[in-house]
Structure 1
């Protein structure tokens, strides 16, 4: 199991990007959350099996049909939060 934090920049607000991220996470059995930031980015934390998380993050980096990801900063987190599901935070 691994735990990652990511900040996604680009055209990622107002285009359904959080719902895209949540859908991909649920489809892959990931746990965590996603939210918009005040700076116009999208922030997420995700936990899951290593290969599943890697594949998920690659998909997020590609973006949805309506978004345009220009950058994605990712870092592994040393501790687990033991999320119950993957949700969109307000």
Structure 2
């Protein structure tokens, strides 16, 4: 199977709990590329590309997050992968 792409909006207590950096570490461990960033509304957005099994494991992780996080909702949107990313980074707030 080919690469897949998912964009996630994660809500709950997900800012100020090391969520973005932990997300970057998990995505990198799984071999995914893309980015993660905070939003002014208190949510976190992540865009990830990679192998389907790794992407699904990453999405399951995002439903849990860090030990200090309290994820209440994860919205998912799938799209065609672009291959534009070389690594997974933490972006500045949008």
For the criterion TM > 0.5, the same-fold answer is: yes
Deviation beyond 3 Å, 4+ runs, structure 1: none
1:33 to 32, 35, 60: 35
Secondary structure in structure 1 of the residue aligned to 2:16: coil
Match runs of 1:1-90 below 5 Å: 1-90=3-92
Shift of residue 81 of structure 1?
4.4
- Quick one: distance in 1 between partners of 2:63 and 2:82? 23
Query: Structure 1 length normalisation: TM-score?
Result: 0.95
Q: Which runs of 5+ in 2 are unaligned?
A: none
User: Cα RMSD over matched residues?
Assistant: 0.9
Q: Which runs of 5+ in 1 are unaligned?
A: none
Secondary structure in structure 2 of the residue aligned to 1:71: strand
Report if aligned partners of 2:49, 2:81 keep a CA contact under 8 Å in 1.
Answer: no
Query: Structure 2 length normalisation: TM-score?
Result: 0.92
